[in-house]
Chain A
Amino acid sequence: MTEQSIIQLRDLKKAFGAIEVLKGINLDVPNNHCAVVMGGSGSGKSVLIKNIVGLLKPDSGSISVLGKRVDLIQGDELDQLRLSIGYLFQSGALFDSMTVSENLMFFLERHLNLSPKEANDKIMQTLEWVELPEKLNDYPADLSGGQKKRIALARAVIMEPKILLYDEPTTGLDPVSVRMVSDLIVRLQAERGITSVAITHDLLCAEIIADSVHFLQDGQFVASGSLEEISRFDHPAIATFFGNETSHAS
């Protein structure tokens, strides 16, 4: 693999039964870079990043993350690698039987040897960072969509991962929240040197966070480049995508 790639996918293929979802994906994400994946609903974007973290195993091809072959390792070795990866789920995936602080504590106390005071300080610090310290003792069911996303983001970063995978971090949010979450993502990259792959439909979000954009269609990247380049790319699916989406974003 190339020295500088933190995440490297080679000819990644994944099918569910007869449905071939990914038909040969290649991707290189250098250090401190944010690669944005765009594409229509059901095109396999979530399947793609689930492969990166080993939630799904590819049928063929290779996946390297921080020099480790995710497609080959398992058990404790995979778990060890996962500690360096934060994952923001499309639905937030907060544990709904726990309060916000318990959600954050749950990860901390199982992996880091912190004193209760250190752990609490860290939780407060992370909640202040997403500007929701007052939600400490609320249950996820009592949060708005945007607040859930921000708490989920807090949970994804509390272990201080080197890599973050974002599955639609801003979908369903109002423009103010979109900007807020996108700004947090940019700050993570600038302040902590995080490398990330982000899935988004959202042009405003892509514009704020993307270092490169990759357009997924029929199981392959049909175009890669800057958002600017992609939007002018001559491909019917991309034209439809941008044609429909621009009016949403503005």
Chain B
Amino acid sequence: MDEVGSKSFILTSITGLAIGVVLAMQSRGTLIRFGAEAVLPNMLALSVVKEIGPVFTSLVLAGRLGAGIGAEIGSMRVTEQIDALEVAALKPFHFLVITRVLACIIMFPILTLWTDTIALTGGYMESYLASGMDYRIFIATAFESLRFSDILVDTLKTGFFGFIVGIVSCYLGFTVRGGTREVGQAAMRAVVGSSLLILLSDVIIVRISMLLFGDAGS
């Protein structure tokens, strides 16, 4: 849990800040052209909380944790440490896989909320520097168009992304055969495989949540 959490904290903070600042800078020009600069906070909040925050956070974590878990379990496999657990009747699956998958399921949503917060803070800082926007107005406008169900669904879906990263990386690590080269390949496949599955399942989850909760704009 600690391994999943503490270092990823810094990583997601940087991700969040970059997302917020860049998104605000990019959008401002366009919105000004349409005379809609006032809705910038709405737009930022919607895109960060509903899509960019969860997906970016999950992809960044897939890179870090997918490679880490894939390589760690893979090297335990090729050095017979997993066999050693099994022979000692210590149920390696429970011991290694369940703990890691659970940690991912719990940490992904928490870190996503954190990334969202930092991203909106970054967006506000940009707005303040560019147009001296008052933070009360920013917050009020930002939360105007967000529904609680949006925050809930789009944050909790990252728990599922965490599940994907955990399961895919553990599986690829567990099934390595060979030596260090194969361990490296397993780590790489864990990152690529879980990233692709995250993007794919995101499409499906968004589709389903629209059917269940309706479109955010409506």
Chain A residues close to B by CB (< 8 Å)? 50, 53, 55, 79-80, 82-83, 85, 87, 89-91, 93-96, 106-107, 110-111, 159
Contacts and interface: CB of A to CB of B under 8 A. Distances in A.
Q: Which 7 A-B pairs have the closest CB atoms?
A: A79-B89, A93-B80, A93-B84, A89-B80, A87-B87, A82-B89, A93-B81
B144 interface: no
26 contacts: A50-B83, A53-B87, A55-B83, A55-B87, A79-B89, A79-B91, A80-B89, A82-B87, A82-B88, A87-B84, A89-B80, A89-B83, A89-B84, A90-B80, A91-B79, A91-B80, A93-B79, A93-B80, A94-B81, A95-B81, A95-B84, A106-B90, A107-B90, A110-B88, A110-B90, A111-B88
B89 A111 contact: yes
Nearest to B88: A107
Interface string B57-93: 0000000000000000000000111011011111100
Contacts of B79: 91, 93, 96
Contacts of A94: 81
Contacts, number: 40
Contacts of B81: 93-96
Given A55-B87, A110-B88, 18 more contacts: A50-B83, A55-B83, A55-B86, A79-B91, A80-B89, A83-B89, A87-B83, A87-B84, A87-B87, A89-B83, A90-B80, A91-B80, A93-B83, A94-B81, A95-B81, A96-B79, A96-B81, A159-B88
A176 to B, nearest CB: 25
A47 to B, nearest CB: 12
Contacts of B80: 89-91, 93
Interface of B: 79-81, 83-84, 86-91
Contacts of A110: 88, 90
A107 B83 CA distance: 14
A214 to B, nearest CB: 22
A98 to B, nearest CB: 10
Nearest to A76: B89
A90 B79 CA distance: 9
Contacts of A159: 88
A52 to B, nearest CB: 10
B59 to A, nearest CB: 27
Contacts of B87: 53, 55, 82, 85, 87
A107 B86 CA distance: 11
Contacts of B84: 87, 89, 93, 95
A92 B86 CA distance: 14
Contacts of B83: 50, 55, 87, 89, 93
A82 B80 CA distance: 16
A94 B76 CA distance: 10
Contacts of A53: 87
A70 to B, nearest CB: 12
Contacts of B90: 106-107, 110
A141 to B, nearest CB: 11
Nearest to A75: B91
A89 B81 CA distance: 9
A90 B90 CA distance: 19
Contacts of A111: 88-89
A156 to B, nearest CB: 9
Nearest to A46: B80
B71 to A, nearest CB: 13
A123 B4 CA distance: 32
Contacts of A55: 83, 86-87
Contacts of B88: 82, 107, 110-111, 159
Nearest to B75: A96
A175 B114 CA distance: 59
